[in-house]
Amino acid sequence: MFPGFDGLLTLSRREGVDVRPTLLRVLTDLYVQAPNHTIDEEKQFVELTARLIDQVDDATRAAVRARLSIYPNTPRAILNRLNLRPTEPGQSVPLAQPISAAESPAPPVKQPSEAQMRVAANMAMAPRDASEISTLFFAASSSERAQILHNLAETPLRSSARIPQARAARAMHILEMAAFAEDRDNFARELSEALMLPAAIAEQVVSDPGGEPLACCAKALGMRSDIFQRVLLFLNPEFGTSVTNVYRIARMYDVLSERSALIMVAAWRGAHMAATRAKFRPALYDDERHRARPSAPQARPSVQPDVDITRVTRNSSGR
């Protein structure tokens, strides 16, 4: 059926021209044109095709595979060589192997902008609730603060947004350097900018003798426990004189959840808003009305009794 193919292969090697892709395509086209083949024709096709399949390029192999996949009498040996399924009862053509669906990559997480973070910070918690939580936390003892932070993790209060990783890493590096230099002013300034806290709150956090507010800020930034301990000891050397205090704050920091820390950050932001609103609120509900300057009443001409208005008007117009 395919006379001269072996000679053509030998000639192609001798002349330096690779005609094997063309030979395989022609051989396949000739084979699929006939609906049936004899045993000798099938054997010769298998021998020639099996040698050529491994010697041609991927494009030729794919084209031949497509032609033979829809031909009902493709030899089983060639089907196996091309990873095709043999014909099953009830199927008119052999089927190719199913292509597994590739998992779609997760969309990249877009970091929030500075404006979006500030809007989210202002909307995280109602100012009144935030003010109450902040006041209660700063006035509590060490054990009470630990209990407050433990309970905050289970509350439905909305926490502040997580600080972006790049920004948090930069802030932690600056905070650590400022702590080593015992520069509380720069430490409080960087803490205020990194967590978007009011300057007064940041200074109160740094000056707090207990260390719990600073632990909340460090946890909100994702600071490691060993770095936090170094920062605390360098920033407040007096704190390290008590082994009990160091062990207590280290233990509390290890069990402190990120959610509780972010809720406290949201509370400190909202407390500043509540204080700002209260500063500009009138003492009485009608203060604004009483402060308004009264306008002098304008005198309206009165009409004397027993006077005919129409006659007066007529005389005035006659003049």
Domain boundaries, the chain: 5-81, 114-279
In order of 67, 145, 150, 263, 268, the CA distances from 255 in angstroms are 66, 13, 9, 15, 21
Give the per-residue pLDDT at 177. Answer: 92
Question: Which stretch of DSSP H or E encloses residue 24?
Answer: helix 20-33
Spatial distance between the Cα atoms of 136 and 59, rounded to a whole number of angstroms: 74
Contact 218, 231 (CB under 8 A): yes
Q: Which residues contact 75 (CB under 8 A, 6 or more apart)?
A: 42, 45, 46
Spatial distance between the Cα atoms of 94 and 259, rounded to a whole number of angstroms: 58
pTM of the model: 0.49
Q: Please give the angle made by the CA atoms of 85, 38 and 29, to the nearest 5 degrees.
A: 60
DSSP H helices in 127-242: 127-139, 142-152, 165-180, 184-195, 199-207, 212-221, 225-235
Give the per-residue pLDDT at 188. Answer: 93
Write the DSSP string, 91-150: -SS--BPPPPPPPPPPPPPPPPPHHHHHHHHHHSS-HHHHHHHHHHHHHS-HHHHHHHHH
Cβ neighbour number for residue 274 with a 10 Å cutoff: 18
User: pLDDT by residue (tens digit) across 50-100?
Assistant: 888 888 888 888 888 888 888 888 888 888 888 887 655 555 544 555 656
Q: Which residues share a beta bridge with 96? A: 84
Contact 187, 175 (CB under 8 A): yes
Q: What share of the chain is helix, strand, coil (3-state, %, to 5)?
A: 65, 0, 35
Residues in the chain predicted with pLDDT less than 70, given as ranges, are: 1-18, 86-125, 272-319
Cβ neighbour number for residue 100 with a 10 Å cutoff: 6
Give the per-residue pLDDT at 240. Answer: 74
Which tokens hold the place of 173? 């590096």
Give the per-residue pLDDT at 97. Answer: 58
Q: Which residues contact 150 (CB under 8 A, 6 or more apart)?
A: 255, 260
Of the candidates 38, 49, 59, 55, the residue with the CA atom closest to the CA atom of residue 80: 49
